[in-house]
Amino acid sequence: MFENLCKPITIGNHVVKNRMKYAATVDNFCDTKNGNVIDREIEYLRERAKGGFGIVVSQGGYTHILGKGYVGQMGLVEESHLAGLKVLADAINAEGAMSIGQIMHTGRYGHAHEYGIHEAIAGGKTVGPEPVGPTAMSSPIKRYSPCREMTNEEIEEQIQAHIVAARMFKQTGWHGVEVCAIVGYLIADFLSRWTNKRTDKWGGSLENRARFLIEILKGIRAEVGDDYPLVMRLNATDLIEGGNTNEEYIEIAKMCEAAVRIDLFSITVGWHESPGAAITAEKRPGDWLHLADEWKKAKIKSPICMAYRMNQPDVAEKAVADGRIDIWEMCRPGIADPYLPKKVIEGRPEDINTCTACNQGCFYYVFIDAVMGCMINPRVGNEWDPAYAINPVAKKKKVLIVGAGPSGMECARLAAIRGHDVTIVEKSDSIGGEVKLGVKSPLLYDWAETIRYYKAQIEKLGIKLKLNTEATADSIKAEAPEVLVIATGGKPSRPKIDGIDNKIVTNVFDVLEGKVKLGDKVVFIGGNEISIQTAEYVAEQGKEVTVLEKGKHICFDVNIFNILQHRRLMAKLNMKSMTNVTVNEITDDGVEISTAGGKDVSIEADTVVVAEGMDSEDTLAKAVGTTIAPEVYTIGDCAGVRKLYEAIHDGYKMGVKI
């Protein structure tokens, strides 16, 4: 089924067992005080190696304290870092994966000043904690402090520091080393004319801008030897106005190959400052493969791997079969399902828990210096924690779960894996809960994969599923469960607004379920994520949509990595929005509002969708109480309205507990 992904490939002196590579991932799993590798990092990467990845790459390690850009980033500086590096390499190697260590100075994105560093030694001098780059500049992203221009001494020092880092990887048992020159980190800063305005030998022409990288590569190759695998991670496009052209990145790749033997190129898309879509759901699986085509056409000699919006094995299989890429690289798909390669090899794609491109636990959490997580895989970052272990049950119990939404299904999956006798009752005619409604929104199409995944698990694990069955106190007593888990989800709230009972008023559930006939002009009251996603679904049908929000911003509860995609889509669909407004009344003709300036305005509407939030659907929980079964629990939105992330995590934690 996936014969090309399963073929071995030789990288340097190492034969890799398949064409699936787990990409370097910033995760904040190392010791926040000293950069040492700890159990959280070891067990996280051990699980990816155990899951069948042919190559597993470490997170990028900093080569100087000023290059530390994430609170839990791995260090490649001190003698004390060596012990943890060896334990990590041994863990990956023991599972049969090729271990590759990545070197990554974050340059302008450094945050040493936020991590208790007040001064440092750089280039032989005492300096402040400010981030550094080839040229002093400020980033459009407010979080990043203005960076200081590096001296010649600091540049030479960092060339040597990268060489030392490569030596540390080799001496601690890693099979290869990867140099990170992407997304706006230090080496990328030198390569780009947008961030490198120097007039000395380190700036100006493309050859000069590439000098820092080339000197690093030459030094590393001399240090590690001719046959030790050396991987180069480089942008294929940066999506920055005033940055490098795609052709220039190809020229840089050719310079690398001319200077040393490169055993594998990993090519990527975009910088942190890029205003366009790179990893969000606006991009369909495989949309970026044309960049790999350009590299192949340019006769880049080294094998090429690529990630970025490639979460489907059939897309990757075809890309390898067609010679567009040589290895399927993946970050977020491997976060979401560490056993994805094993499932590919065994021909079980229906069992893959597919990344939905939510960017919540991965990019957003890491960006705010929290430990990385995953919406659909609660084990991420908790592989080391006994509380998250999936252990066989000591005593098999009869478990009844009310609600086949995400929380209920995840709970059922874990309880069944552990050996319980599990039944789900669902009042509707299909599984999915709010997920099956959300999948209708233009940017949530990958949620269909989540429903596919749970459907397969319910069938394979022998979970009894009773659809079109509404649970009551009597029916629960008749089932006589030893454990009752109520996962009835949430329901749209009904705020106190004059005219809320008007015939033109509806809610997001009724809209997504197709229970109402929408007029041509539709007004949404509420600018939260569910409202915006539903409004986009309506606007895509050609309706004239206006969103009203009482606060300062629409998408106020959307993570920063996804806000821009909603803004772009709203603009494309000609949606209108107004903020800082008070809804006074809903009439037969629309909505009467007051602006922040005190002006009264009438918004014409044929349909008004009240979408200011959700309430817990806890009717059943209140009706049956806590004594109807020996153990009674509530999970998901039924226990408290939150997001899909928390709903799935609730289900997991309950499933491993009961």
The pLDDT confidence band at residue 396, using thresholds 50, 70 and 90, is very high
**What 8-state DSSP symbol labels residue 112?**
G
Which class for 501: exposed (0-12), middle (13-18), buried (19 or more C-beta within 10 A)?
A: exposed
Contact present, 593 and 582 (Cβ < 8 Å)? yes
The pLDDT confidence band at residue 315, using thresholds 50, 70 and 90, is very high
What percent of the chain stands above pLDDT 70? 100
In order of 47, 191, 294, 369, 509, the CA distances from 327 in angstroms are: 20, 25, 16, 31, 42
CB neighbours of residue 145 within 10 Å: 18
Dist CA 543 CA 565 (whole Å): 20
Q: Is the pLDDT of residue 248 over 90?
A: yes
Q: Which helix (H) or strand (E) holds 213?
A: helix 211-224
Average model confidence (pLDDT) across the chain: 97
Q: What is the pLDDT of residue 561?
A: 84
How is the chain split among helix, strand and coil, in percent rounded to 5? Answer: 35, 20, 45
Mean pLDDT of 613-631: 97
Q: In the chain, what are the domains?
A: 9-386 (3.20.20.70), 390-492+616-655 (3.40.50.720), 505-612 (3.50.50.60)
Q: Is the pLDDT of residue 145 over 90?
A: no
Dist CA 157 CA 121 (whole Å): 11
Which class for 478: exposed (0-12), middle (13-18), buried (19 or more C-beta within 10 A)?
A: exposed
The pLDDT confidence band at residue 462, using thresholds 50, 70 and 90, is very high
Helices 81-94, 39-50: inter-axial angle, 10-degree rounding: 20
Contact present, 240 and 274 (Cβ < 8 Å)? yes
**What 8-state DSSP symbol labels residue 304?**
E
Both tokens of residue 254?
């050719």
CA 511 to chain centre: 29
Q: Where does 442-574 show beta strands of DSSP type E?
A: 464-466, 483-486, 490-492, 505-507, 521-525, 544-548
Q: Is the pLDDT of residue 627 over 90?
A: yes
Q: Is 345 helix (H, G, I), strand (E, B) or coil?
A: helix
Q: What does residue 62 show for φ and ψ, rounded to 5 degrees?
A: -80, 145
Length of the chain equals 658
Q: What is the pLDDT of residue 143?
A: 83
Contact present, 233 and 24 (Cβ < 8 Å)? yes
Dist CA 109 CA 185 (whole Å): 7
DSSP letter for each residue of 323-389: TS-SEEEESHHHHH-TTHHHHHHTT-GGG--------IIIIIHHHTTPPP--SS-TTTTTTT-GGG-
User: Taking Cα atoms as reference points, which of 100, 26, 37 lies closest to residue 68?
Assistant: 26
Segment 560-609, tens digit of pLDDT: 889 999 999 999 999 999 999 999 999 999 999 999 999 999 999 999 99
The pLDDT confidence band at residue 73, using thresholds 50, 70 and 90, is very high
Dist CA 304 CA 315 (whole Å): 16
Q: Is the pLDDT of residue 243 over 90?
A: yes
Mean pLDDT of 485-497: 97
Contact present, 246 and 288 (Cβ < 8 Å)? no
CB neighbours of residue 129 within 10 Å: 19
The pLDDT confidence band at residue 537, using thresholds 50, 70 and 90, is very high
Both tokens of residue 442?
């233009």
Angle at 515 between CA 513 and CA 519, to 5 degrees: 110
The pairing of beta strand 614-616 with beta strand 490-492 = antiparallel
CB neighbours of residue 566 within 10 Å: 22
Segment 159-218, tens digit of pLDDT: 999 999 999 999 999 999 999 999 999 999 999 999 999 999 999 999 999 999 999 999
Segment 363-372, tens digit of pLDDT: 999 999 999 9
Segment 41-61, tens digit of pLDDT: 999 999 999 999 999 999 999
The pLDDT confidence band at residue 142, using thresholds 50, 70 and 90, is confident
